[in-house]
Amino acid sequence: MNKNTKVLALKYRPQTFDDLIGQEVVAETIINSIKLNKVPNAYLFTGIRGIGKTTTARIVAKSLNCLNGIENLCKESLCENCEAIASSRHIDVLEMDAASKTGVDDVRDLIEFSRYGPTSSKYKIFIIDEVHMLSKQAFNALLKTLEEPPEYLKFIFATTEIKKIPITVVSRCQRFDLSRIKSTELFNFIKKIKDKENGKATDEALKLIVKISEGSVRDALSLLDRALLSLDGKKELDLNAAQKIFGYFDKSQLIEMFNLILKGDENKVIESYRNIYDQGVEPKIFINDFLEILYYFKNINSLTLESTNFSLNDEEFNQIKEISDNVDSEVLILFWQFTIQTLGELDIVSNQHLSIEMFLLRLIHIKGFKPKNENQSTTQEHNYQKDSSEVNIPTKIINKDTINQIKNVSQEKKIKLDPKIDTKVLSEIKIQSFSELVDLCASKKEMKLKYELEKNVNLVKFENCRIEISFNDNLDKDFVKNLSTKLLEWTNERWIISFSKNQGEMSIKEKEKNKQKELIESTKKTDLYKTVMEYFPDAELIEVRPTIKDDDK
Is 60 exceeded by the pLDDT of residue 223?
Answer: yes
CB of 507 within 8 A of CB of 457? yes
Span 375-395, pLDDT tens digits: 444 444 444 444 433 434 344
Which range is most confident: 77-91, 236-250, 374-388?
77-91
| pLDDT classification of 310: cutoffs 50, 70, 90 | low
Position 372 scores a pLDDT of 43
Rg (CA), the chain: 36
Report which DSSP code applies to 478.
Answer: T
Nearest one of 157, 197, 172, 181 to 46, comparing CA atoms? 157
Look up the CATH number of domain 183-246: 1.10.8.60
- Give mean pLDDT, residues 406-413: 42
Run of H or E residues at 385: helix 376-385
Q: Which residues pair with 461 in a beta bridge?
A: 468
Span 535-546, pLDDT tens digits: 778 778 787 776
Ordered DSSP codes for 171-199:
TTSEEEEPPPPPHHHHHHHHHHHHHHTT-
CB of 51 within 8 A of CB of 39? no
Percentage above 90 pLDDT, the chain: 14
User: Is beta strand 153-159 parallel, antiparallel or unpaired with respect to 124-129?
Assistant: parallel
| pLDDT classification of 305: cutoffs 50, 70, 90 | low
Which residues neighbour 458 within 8 Å (Cβ) at sequence distance 6 or greater?
A: 469, 470, 472, 503, 504, 505, 506, 507
Tell me the fold of 402-500.
GMP Synthetase; Chain A, domain 3 (3.30.300)
Position 3 scores a pLDDT of 56
Please tell me the pTM assigned to this model.
Answer: 0.57
Is 90 exceeded by the pLDDT of residue 56?
Answer: yes
> Which of 62-71, 79-88, 388-397, 497-506 shows the lowest mean pLDDT across its residues?
388-397
Domain residue ranges in the chain: 3-177, 183-246, 270-382, 402-500, 508-552
CB of 251 within 8 A of CB of 204? no
Specify whether domain 3-177 bears CATH 3.40.50.300.
Answer: yes
Span 177-208, pLDDT tens digits: 998 888 888 999 999 999 988 888 888 889 88
Nearest one of 319, 308, 458 to 380, comparing CA atoms? 458
- Give mean pLDDT, residues 127-152: 89
Specify whether domain 270-382 bears CATH 1.20.272.10.
Answer: yes
Ordered DSSP codes for 140-160:
HHHHHHHHS--TTEEEEEEES
